[in-house]
Structure 1
Amino acid sequence: MRIDKFLKVSRIIKRRTIANEACDAGRVMINGKVVKAGVEVKIGDVIEIQFGSNTTKVEVLSLKESPRKEDATSMYRSV
């Protein structure tokens, strides 16, 4: 699954276009490397996102194409 889509369906970022812009601006890293929006995410990857001065770090636990709202938070855990 693409990183921009994962961020949207897991509800870490509200819209896919915003996730896409964050990736293009270099604010998203997977396992310590800055990535573009088309990079594939795998289970076990650690995603780091910079929101202004805040940094959010999560580990990917599962990949679901269209989870329900209640199941979205089970796709990742905070590190």
Structure 2
Amino acid sequence: MRIDKFLKLARVIKRRTLAQEMIEIGAVRVNGKVVKASKEIQPGDVVEVAFPSRVVSFKVLPFEEKELKRGARPFDVLEERKVNPDEKPWND
């Protein structure tokens, strides 16, 4: 499944278009690398999402699309830290 769709269905980001915008500016990383919205996500991948005031890292668990649509939580949070919005955490 594409990372933009995964972020929306997993309820990490509310809209797929917003996920695509965040990916485009480099605020989403998979396994430490900046990716494109078309990146296929796999169980075991570590995803980092930089929101304006916090950065969340999580590990993707095995999932099925229909379970995601029903509200299953397909990841384990590894770390969540607050950041200063002026620092733009996605630029490091």
Q: Same fold (TM over 0.5)?
A: yes
Structure 2, unpaired ranges of 5+: 79-92
Equivalent residue for 1:32? 32
Residues 49 and 57 in structure 1, CA contact (< 8 A), matched pair in contact too: yes
Normalising by structure 2, we get a TM-score of 0.78
- The answer to whether the aligner puts 1:14 opposite 2:14 as a matched pair is yes
Using the aligned pairs only, state the percent identity. Answer: 47
Distance 1:35 1:2 in 2: 11
Structure 1, unpaired ranges of 5+: none
Distance 1:33 1:26 in 2: 9
SS state at 2:36 partner: coil
The offset of 1:65, in angstroms, is: 1.6
Equivalent residue for 2:88? none
The offset of 1:47, in angstroms, is: 0.1
Distance 1:76 1:47 in 2: 9
